[in-house]
Amino acid sequence: MKKYLSSYWIRSAFYTFLQRFSLTLFGFVNFLILIRSLSKPQMGVWAFFLVVTTLFESTKSNLLKNAHIKFVGNSNREKTAIASSSLLVNASISILFICFLFLFSGYLSNWLHTGKELEDMLRWFTPGMIALVYFSHFEAVSQSHLDFKSVFAGYFARQVLFFSLVVGHQLLKIPFSLVHLAIYQSASIVLGALVLFLFGKKHLLYVFNPTIAWIKKLLGFGGYIFGIGITSSIFSNLDQLMIARFTSSKSMVASYNAATRISALVEIPSYSAAEILLPKVSQVDMSEGSDKVKYMYERMVGILLCFTTPAALFIIIFPHFVVNLIAGSQYADSSFILQMYMLSGLVKPIQNQAANILLYIGKARLCFLLNVLFVGINAGLNYLCFIQFGPYGAAIGNVIGTVLGTIVWYNILKKSIGVNFGNIWKYILDTIKTIMEKIALLVKAKQVQL
């Protein structure tokens, strides 16, 4: 195995794939267990807990991890100054967020009509937020040293512990409480941070020397990315937030969340593609022309559409079957919402990869402004459709907003690097042809064996 993993690209792709696969697998199994063990109102509160904690973790990661990796220098002194400055900013953001939750979690719970449950969960998650300071720091240090094995180990340990605790509850027939789940999330992050430390401690220099200059550089580079992370998270959860605010129904929020979790399975190829595509795009010298970036975008979108379109069409045609299979009959009202999400899913690869490309060719400010614009547009569309069509209106507004957004993002990218949908269509056909040829070869080989 060591022989085959000696290459940087093979090794990094191997551990990145394992990390993505384990996150998806454990997350999906946990979802299957919890959706059958918690009541719909409880699932609604759990959904909002995940929205808040994911928003905190992902936006902080967007701000610090990318900047940390970008600026790490060759000398030990420079490395320690960057790492120390990153850790200081990391801890400061976490302290501010914890203070915010202790002061305003009650107000947030009332605003979302979740009662005291969400407030209690967020306060019990405080140890997890403290542990995230170390988890995200060790992750950034390991990635800056191209140590993807340590990162995989940390995430894997984190997922395994939470999964084991959830399965233990199920096997021992112990009733779930939402506070238990918040505590288990905290414990899993503590274990993940410890494993990351044990695997990656060889990269730590145990010197703390932050500087104002490096703090400014880290914040300067990550500022727009931080804003993009926040607006993207709000955009992704806007319909659930509006349903909670305007219906006071935790059950309807749970139905929206079930549809969101199922639709996320179809979007996995897009997230994986970004991890492969973006490092390549960042290496391209735009002064030499945009042809390489144009080719990468068109080719990647063509390949993605080949895989996501059949899955989306199947779910659009058989939504009740998919919802009953995954979430159970009590979530039958998620079927229409899921259909709407899958209509959005038909065009999302075009929009998502366009946003990623613009970010990595130096247009972070434009990406941030577009994100802010479409959060506002989607909020307006969701509200108007909610008034017109009732609780399902937010899903309809989401489709309209996504289609409008895709048109705008695509045309901006077309103006920036000259992308052509005709080329995307050509790559779709090429990919289908390649897949069919591979299948034919496999069938022929099987016939020869027989």
pLDDT digits (tens, 9 = 90+) for 129-183: 999 999 988 988 887 777 778 888 999 999 999 999 999 988 888 888 899 999 9
Tens digit of pLDDT for each residue in 202-220? 888 888 888 888 888 888 7
Residue 3 pLDDT > 50, yes or no?
Answer: no
Tens digit of pLDDT for each residue in 317-356? 999 999 999 888 889 999 999 999 999 989 988 888 888 7
Residue 232 pLDDT > 90, yes or no?
Answer: no
Cα 95 from Cα 89, distance rounded (Å): 10
0.75 surpassed by pTM? yes
Residue 126 pLDDT > 90, yes or no?
Answer: yes
User: How many C-beta neighbours within 10 Å does residue 127 have?
Assistant: 15
Highest mean pLDDT among 25-39, 58-72, 371-385: 371-385
User: How many C-beta neighbours within 10 Å does residue 360 have?
Assistant: 20
Highest mean pLDDT among 1-15, 59-73, 250-264: 250-264
Over residues 63-90, the mean pLDDT reads: 73
Q: What average pLDDT does the chain have?
A: 83
According to the 3-state scheme, what is the secondary structure of the chain? Answer: CCCCCCCHHHHHHHHHHHHHHHHHHHHHHHHHHHHHHCCHHHHHHHHHHHHHHHHHHHHHHHHHHHHHHHHCCCCHHHHHHHHHHHHHHHHHHHHHHHHHHHHHHHHHHHHCCCCCHHHHHHHHCHHHHHHHHHHHHHHHHHHHCCCHHHHHHHHHHHHHHHHHHHHHHHHCCCCCCHHHHHHHHHHHHHHHHHHHHHHHHHHCCCCCCCCHHHHHHHHHHHHHHHHHHHHHHHHHHHHHHHHHHHHCCHHHHHHHHHHHHHHHHHHHHHHHHHHHHHHHHHCCCHHHCCHHHHHHHHHHHHHHHHHHHHHHHHHHHCHHHHHHHHCCHHHCCHHHHHHHHHHHHCCHHHHHHHHHHHHHCCCHHHHHHHHHHHHHHHHHHHHHHHHHHHHHHHHHHHHHHHHHHHHHHHHHHHHHHCCCHHHHHHHHHHHHHHHHHHHHHHHHHHHHHC
Residue 400 pLDDT > 90, yes or no?
Answer: yes
User: How many C-beta neighbours within 10 Å does residue 185 have?
Assistant: 23
Q: What is the pLDDT of residue 69?
A: 67
Q: What is the pLDDT of residue 135?
A: 93
Reported as a pLDDT band with limits 50, 70 and 90, residue 358 is confident
Angle at 385 between CA 384 and CA 390, to 5 degrees: 115
405 vs 83 pLDDT, higher one = 405
Closest to 432 in 3D by CA, of 310, 317, 296: 310
Q: What is the pLDDT of residue 78?
A: 77
Cα 86 from Cα 214, distance rounded (Å): 8
25 vs 325 pLDDT, higher one = 325
Reported as a pLDDT band with limits 50, 70 and 90, residue 2 is very low
The first and second tokens of residue 182, run together, are 């918040």
Reported as a pLDDT band with limits 50, 70 and 90, residue 123 is very high
Burial class (CB in 10 A: 0-12, 13-18, 19+), 217: middle
262 vs 76 pLDDT, higher one = 262
Residue 60 pLDDT > 80, yes or no?
Answer: no
The first and second tokens of residue 53, run together, are 């904690």
- Measured on CA atoms in the order 257, 263, 269, 270, is the torsion positive or negative? negative
Residue 100 pLDDT > 70, yes or no?
Answer: yes
Tens digit of pLDDT for each residue in 369-396? 998 999 999 999 999 999 999 889 999 9
Q: What is the pLDDT of residue 6?
A: 44
Q: What is the pLDDT of residue 155?
A: 92
Over residues 235-246, the mean pLDDT reads: 83
Cα 382 from Cα 306, distance rounded (Å): 30
Is the separation of the CB atoms in 432 and 306 below 8 Å?
yes
Task: Give 187's Cβ-side CA count (13 Å radius).
Answer: 13
Q: Which residues contact 447 (CB under 8 A, 6 or more apart)?
A: none
Lowest mean pLDDT among 291-295, 345-349, 414-418: 291-295
Give per-residue burial for 223-235: e unless 16+ CB within 10 Å, then b.
Answer: ebbbbbbbbbbbb
Reported as a pLDDT band with limits 50, 70 and 90, residue 431 is confident
Q: What is the pLDDT of residue 286?
A: 54
Is the separation of the CB atoms in 330 and 39 below 8 Å?
no
